[in-house]
Amino acid sequence: MTRGLIAAYHELDALVEGIEALQHRKFTKFTVYTPTPRHEIEHAIKPPTSKIRLFTLIGGLCGVTFGYWIAIWTSDYWPLVVGGKAIASWIPYTIIGFEVMVLVGALSTVYGMFILSRVPKITQTMGFDPRFTGGHYGIYVETSPERLKEAEATLRESGAVEVTNER
Amino acid sequence: MASLVQPVRPNVATANIQLPGVESYEQVDREIAGTLVPTRGWFLLLGVSILLFLWGAGTWVYQIYWGLGNAGYNPPVMWGVYIITFVFWVGIGHAGTLISAILYLFRAGFRTTIYRCAEAMTVFAVMTAGLFPIIHIGRPWKFFWLVPYPNWRLIWPNFKSPLVWDVFAISTYLTVSATFLYVGLIPDLAVLRDRATNPFKKRLLAVMSLGWRNSEPEWRHFARMYLFLAAFSTPLVLSVHSVVSFDFAMALTPGWHATIFPPYFVAGAIFSGIGMVFTIIIPIRKFFRLQHIVTINHLDAAAKLALFTSMVVGCAYLIEFWVAWYSANEFEQAYFWNRVFGQWWWAAWIMLTCNMIFPLSLFSQKLRRNPTWLFILSILINIGMWYERFVIIVPSLSHEFEPWQWSGYLPSWVDVSILAGSFGWFFMWFLLFIKNLPVIAIAEVKEIVPPRLRSHQVPTGVDVAGHHLDYSPETPGERD
């Protein structure tokens, strides 16, 4: 069973120090909150690159394939024969292919963000404080009950203005 | 020798951006959320917009009942105000995507404070534009025939027709722009959710913000998604008006059959859209008292964009004349002569003065930094760009190859009412938007505001690569 602590920070450098101190003391399960994305936090956490590009690539390829396919298939299904002209002409169909690529690619990118960020969330109360969308930074640490005291001390030492037990 | 050298005003409007008038994240939340309180003036404007919209909608019902003959169509001019207004509103939308997506990729910082407005303008403008081909076909209930879907008649649309390209381009554009606007709003909706006191409103915002929590993994995926959406929107916006221009350029009609049409239309669209951005953002920054957020420097930078696109459009106008002369095609020459010095001289000169001549005033830094002049100019640009589409469509159809076909065109009261109704429809949505959702991107403005630091407060701006710069407090135009 794990227990959780929420720390609220006023200042960005204190937050970064808190992240580094937690990493140094081998606390691995924590979530950082920030009102706006900051490079300083990214440099401290060193997260892996988002996998959203895979969703974009696959969505885009599916879209362009479908766009060309629907235009070519319907032309062959009901041919409009105009002397000497191609029944399925790739030049105008590139417009359809392109538009459907953008449509499906863009929607699958958003879908990827939803999947990877785990939104929509039905409940958002656990490990979160409404101040984190305002002016405060925050860290939610999950750890074993034995290490709870150590985690709290680490967060307070780094400059957290408030540390509360979550459960 | 002391005063012989006059001090030169620094050209301060750059891609970099700093907001010394904004000191903390809380101030951003407070001031932007503060704009959401309805006022009497807002109710008045909304009432006028709804009345205009209802007038236009009622006229449409009248037209459906009595037939398209009530619009001012006069053979062979069978494309009139509806197609002009369709192209006009699609064009208006383009600046929104340019500002929100293309300038995002170019890291042009001045976009940050105006992009939400511009993006909302895009969505509402495309929603408006999409109505016009439906109004124009006269039997709106048959519009769905353009959409490819399996049906018992086993009939499919002709994918070689520009009208079908239009359906794909406009519906993709509307979907992607609306998605882009909505996902950009999610973090801001979370801010409003956590500030809301009314339980119903709080619940509604919680649903709309999808439980967003500002966590680092959320931001990481969000930033990537935003980048890819911007990368998709950039070629999309260029393709949409190119496809709209194909509606004309694929025909053999004099004045339409030109390879210059796609870039000419795209530049015109962006130009007209920036005009509409000024029309909207200048009153908003004044009445919402956001002059320290949407600063003069941002208007100055956007005005440079207007000047540039105006010159591209002006160049396209001149090239059209030159090509008509150089082609030695008598139909083209007769048409262009008729456009500028003949039957349609008045419309052509409204277009040329509003789009080519007045915007040259933006070479003056003083005028670029004068919101009153920018607002007046933006109205002139809106008028000029509507007339540009008039000049493209009506003179060509009224002066084709056969002299016995030549005719005139005068919009009827039905055309004018539906045109006015479209403005009512657009502003109704926009006014509802500005009092229900943040008109300035809260999370993105916070990126510019220097973060609170424990050690010492370092006021910084952000350079084009997103790195923070030392701030020079004497830079003019940041607070007004």
Per-residue pLDDT of B337-356, as tens digits, reads 999 999 999 999 999 999 99
pLDDT band at B464 (very low <50, low <70, confident <90, very high): very low
Confidence check: pLDDT of B161 > 60: yes
Cα A132 to chain centroid, rounded: 17
* pLDDT tens for each residue of B253-269: 999 999 999 999 999 99
Of B25, B180, B206, the CB nearest to A35: B25
Q: A107-120 pLDDT, tens per residue? A: 999 999 999 998 88
Structure confidence by residue, pLDDT tens digits, B302-341: 999 999 999 999 999 999 999 999 999 999 999 999 999 9
Q: Which residues pair with A142 in a beta bridge?
A: A4
pLDDT in tens, A137-167: 999 999 999 999 999 999 999 989 999 988 6
| Residue B1 confidence (pLDDT) above 60 | no
pLDDT band at B457 (very low <50, low <70, confident <90, very high): low
In whole angstroms, give the CA distance from residue B314 to residue B177: 28
pLDDT digits (tens, 9 = 90+) for B50-87: 999 999 999 999 999 999 999 999 889 999 999 999 99
pLDDT digits (tens, 9 = 90+) for B185-211: 999 999 999 999 999 999 999 999 998
Domains of chain A as residue ranges with CATH: 3-49+126-165 (3.30.70), 52-117 (no CATH)
- Partners of residue B454 in chain A, C-beta under 8 Å: 10-11, 13-14, 159
Locate A101 and state its tokens. Answer: 């690529």
Q: How many C-beta neighbours within 10 Å does residue B88 have?
A: 27
Q: What is the ipTM of this complex?
A: 0.94
Residue B16: the pLDDT is: 65
Top-confidence range, A137-146, B44-53, B151-160, B391-400? B44-53
How far is residue B209's CA from residue B204's CA, in Å, rounded to a whole number? 9
Q: State the pLDDT confidence band at A125, using cuts at 50, 70 and 90.
A: low
**Residue B459 reports pLDDT greater than 60:** no
Within the 34-53 window of chain B, which residues sit less than 8 Å (CB to CB) from chain A?
none
The residue among A102, A103, A115 with the most chain B CBs within 10 A of its CB, best to mutate, is A102
Q: Which residues contact B393 (CB under 8 A, 6 or more apart)?
A: B79, B80, B83, B84, B87, B248
Beta partners for residue B286, in sequence order: none
Q: What pLDDT was estimated at residue A167?
A: 66
Do A14 and B26 count as a contact with CB atoms less than 8 A apart? no
The whole-number average pLDDT for the span A2-10 is 90
In this complex, the residue of B176, B221, B236 whose CB is nearest that of residue A113 is B221
Do A95 and B239 make contact, defined as CB atoms within 8 angstroms? yes
> Residues 6 or more apart from B226 whose CB is under 8 A from it?
B104, B183, B184
Domains of chain B: 57-424 (1.20.1630.10)
Q: CB-CB: which of B156, B194, B443 is closest to A74?
A: B156
Query: Cβ(B384)–Cβ(B353) under 8 Å?
Result: yes
Closest CA relative to residue B466, chosen from B162, B138, B133, B223: B223
HSE on the CB side for B296, CA within 13 Å?
17
Q: What is the pLDDT of residue B465?
A: 46
- Return the residue in A117, A126, A129 with the most chain B beta carbons within 10 A, the one to mutate for interface testing: A117
- Using pLDDT thresholds of 50, 70 and 90, give the confidence band for residue B451: confident
Inter-chain residue contact B221 with A102, CB threshold 8 Å? no
Task: Return the pLDDT at B478.
Answer: 61
Cβ–Cβ below 8 Å for B229 and A109: yes
